[in-house]
Amino acid sequence: METPYIDSLKSTLETQNKLLFYLEQRIEYINAEIETCQSEHYHINEARINAIKTKAEIDTLKKVISEKTEYFEKFAAHFEIEFAEMEKKYDKLIENAYLRAGKLPVLKKILDSVNKEAIKRDKEAKLFFYKQVKQHLL
């Protein structure tokens, strides 16, 4: 089963980690250029400015990656717990929902409009659907 939101979070983290890698490489290249530069002071100064700005970008990016990683880990763990609990109760809840749908028009509309194929292949869609149904049964 797919998890589009979790996959999106992973993709964002992968992109930011790549950027961090290349920015850190940039610092190495800049420092090497400073050491070997025989030209005017202007170029050395510009390289130093570039190094400082790049270091600031790296620090900011490390903080963002750390925060997103922490969020991702918490979200994924919480999602898996919710999903496991839902799986235990899903069939009974849906059966009960179909039995009560005649008396609850909003619930009937939810049940009639669900994309059953999406529910089969997408864990997030299934959990969202489950929560909607559960909310209207309470």
Q: Where are the domains of the chain?
A: 4-137
pLDDT digits (tens, 9 = 90+) for 43-80: 777 788 888 899 899 999 999 999 999 998 898 889 89
The secondary structure of 115-130 as a DSSP string is -HHHHHHBHHHHHHHH
- Model confidence, pTM: 0.59
**Contact present, 16 and 64 (Cβ < 8 Å):** yes
Does residue 128 surpass a pLDDT of 80?
yes
Band (24; pLDDT cuts 50, 70, 90): confident
Distance CA 49, CA 135 (A): 57
HSE at residue 47, side-chain half, CA atoms within 13 A, is 19
Residue 90 tokens read as: 């899903």
| 122 Rama class: left (phi>0) / alpha (psi -120 to 50) / beta | beta
DSSP state of 39: S
pLDDT digits (tens, 9 = 90+) for 72-98: 889 888 989 999 999 999 999 999 999
